[in-house]
Structure 1
Amino acid sequence: MHQDAFCDLYLRLSLDRDGKTAIERQEADCRAWAERNGLTVRKIHMDRGRSGYKAVERKGFDAALAAVTAGVVGTLIVWKLDRLSRKGIGQVGKVLDDIEEAGGRLVSVLDGLDTSNDSARMAVVMLAELARSESKNLGMRVGHAKRYLRSKGQWIGGQPPYGLRIDAMTRKLVHDPEYADYARLIADEALAGTSLVKIARLLNEHEVLSPRGGQWNAASIMQLLRSPAFAGLMPETETVETEDGERKYTGRVFPYRDPYTLETVGIGEGIISVGERERIIRTLESRTFVHAGKRRPKPEGTALLTGIVHCAVPGCGRRMHRVGGSYQCMARRAGNQCIGASAVSEVVDQYVAEQFLAKLPALEPDDPLLVVITDRWLHRADPETFAKRDALTAEMKDEEARLADLEDARFVRGEFEGTAAVERYDRLAVRLRGRIDGLRGDLHRLRMPSVDVSPMLDGVTLREAWTDATNEGRRELLTLAINRVEVSKGERGRRIVPAQRIKIHWAGPEGTGNPAGTPRQVRSKQE
């Protein structure tokens, strides 16, 4: 089969530091195994700084699995099984089933495992559970180590607050001579009652860069002022227990207290004193609306165009959020340098909704927008199938490009001269054409889901569905057909004219994920 001669490598490293298992070593060992076994390495999928134990996104893992389960390659090679996953047989078992169903195999170089051998599956099960147990125990050891360092008042890792740095000898906070004065300026402004937005604008106007090198905003100022370490106190991030019994970090940071004395623990110098921190925290909390003795709860629903509507001011393009009764540019509200667009949310929502509800029923069967809507709906209904289709299509395009370059090399650039060279060209061309034909066959054999778009093309049915849906459901419908909505800045005191200030960017045919030349199974009212 065309894929049997090709393999992909999957490499992962949780912490890319000296003394750890380097990505380069993993790649070298995996490539050596592939060469010994006569396989050609097609592609390397990599996840740097991504845990195989925690519930985090791993794009490299997803792409590697899609390639082997789609039949783009016949073999997936990992350096060691725990590089693939540390979630136990729950995840590894599904990976094995998917690879086996596609007729592929998984190879773990250091473990000496090849799932083309029937006896390897039991060993994989044992190693998968062992890796999960090791990660769990490692988490416990790390927790004990952190508690020990906290008890000694030593920094346990991570970026210190702006204006402070870590002394290499004592592992405690000291003032950073380059930024401490700016940090103190922020504190003084906060103590004087200056709003966070105004502090951010002051820093941005004087071109004082944030810790990440960009502009300051209200959120970054808030995070800095609330940090216990900003006042020389040991910080601790709150954790909660998930449904599966694991611990998950929240965004809340508070001063660490010794479990025996219940006293806060110092971590060195702070930009502000503990007393100043308490004053700042009280000031910040006084600006937060309190209802029935509790902080304002999160609203049950969000605005209709959340995540879709953007500021159209040149050079901005940031998202707009609903604040009160208006959509407002968040860059402006956060203190960034933007004059800021703003518009009554009810007017914007109504205009966009009416445009959407009027446009869809008027679409012709061959309208490019209808094709995009269908593709997006299909992707949401069956993402795994489309991941495989995308992997096959991308590889087919790459091989077609190689074949075109090979043909140019012979017939345009004249690089194959003489009998031996022509014979070499023929061998390469036959191999590439066979590979392309095999990929095209796999693509056509892959199950293609169908979707009935007729309810969206019937004006009455669409409006009934719109009326019955929540804002979240309506937003799902909008994003099938709309990429983004832009609102330009209006003139103070003038009523908004939607057609002049609101621009809807309807979805285009490119970037929809539909492979060129593959059939779409669409059922519409016109059939």
Structure 2
Amino acid sequence: MKVKRSVLYTRVSRSTEESVSVDRQERELRQVAEREGWPVVAVFQDDGLSGRTERAKADAALAMLAEGRAEVLMVWEMSRWSRMGLGAVAKLVEVLDAKPDALFLAQKESLRSDQPAFRLMASVISEVARMEAESTRDRIKAMRSYVLSETDPSQTRWLGGPVPFGYQAVARPGGGKALQLDPEEAPVAREAAEKFVAGMSLTDVTRLLQERHVATPQSPARRARQAGKPVDGLDAGTWRITTVRKLLLSPTLIGRTTQGDGVVTDATGLPITRWEPVIDVGTWNAIQTKAKARAPYQDRKASSWLSGFLFCGLCGSVLYVNSRKDRVNGSFRCANKAIPGQACKGVSISREGVEAYMEGTILRMIGGLDEYRVSERVEGTDAGELDAVAQAIADVQSALAGDEADYGVLLPRLDKLKARRRALQEAPGRVVKTQVPTGRTLADAWAEGDVRERQWIISDMIRGIEVQPAARPRQPVEERLVIVWDEPEAEPDD
């Protein structure tokens, strides 16, 4: 019988947790390995890291299992793995399905992947971890909302993350950081916006930025310059139409911050300008109008439930369904030809093959879960909300009379407020939404659903799927896909 090699993964968010220190975890796991006759070939340790903010070492341990360099993956407790999110559990199950002889063991719970109830128990433990994370996420959101609601420019703070193009992060006198105009990038962004409004196409704006060797927002060269480090020899990235479009449409160009589906507003519903704008509001409104006029394709229905989820592994562009007369289902292909001389060489993959593989993967993960739908009920009219809407209408009307009124924002806001007032006045009460089970499983919903319903099911699971070029003829679909599972927001610690 072949000797099974084991790889150990230990993790603790706070090094002061002596009772479950990484040293103790490793010691106990080695005892199990010795007892079972599994030689330890590697140990991966995360000490003092949150499970939701660091998973490179966990991925490395799982890769050893997937690549056949080990047959057993051991953790001290299932939460050491499940706290990294449902995506981490999904990747584990995916590897175990592909490697029937592989084994996963959680020592504390005596949980093994060769047990009949493994999938059920792993799902339950992961769901408990998710519920704990929900509470943490709510606290983080409340903190973010408080910081973002600050209207005094001298008190605004930057919450971190990628620095928007055109800005640089600087220290605030009261602590933390704020954003201010970048003397190199702001003029470039301003010129790009003005040229687009004046009639230059997105393709030509993209070409202009590339020819001038402007560093892209996520390029190593820009990150180094923002950190005050040398940029010589670093990659400045390649501008794409999608990148330029995202830049020009972003409210950050006029000093605003987004949260959820919209910009951050004050108590009256008016947008808060948190940083010095790169361009004026009039130019930004003109960009929105022109961009919408050039994008009629946005209203088209997706022809595949994977549309919008597949991306080119070479250039990062969205893959589109390319139907051909000689093929019923066609294929997904990269259609990025934004920059002459630097256009993507092209990545394509069989639509039928990728849909079949992803459908099987998704249904193995969630097919047995119950489906829920939103139920609405009406409760008593909220007089306080009616008063608040009336006051907001008065405030917007007052703002419209100002010399610097932002009509593109204020007029739609006024229409929405008036519509809300009519609804409150006419309705006998307010609508309260709750989730109720439908009696179907998600597998049933999937089988009976159309393209849009299937996209809704997977939208909370998958951020995107990167398709790599084929390394050899007839290479299996699963070897070419890099699935980016949607992860819950970071939690501070265990």
TM-score bin (small chain): 0.3 to 0.5
TM-score w.r.t. structure 2 length?
0.48
Structure number with bigger Rg: 1
TM-score w.r.t. structure 1 length?
0.45
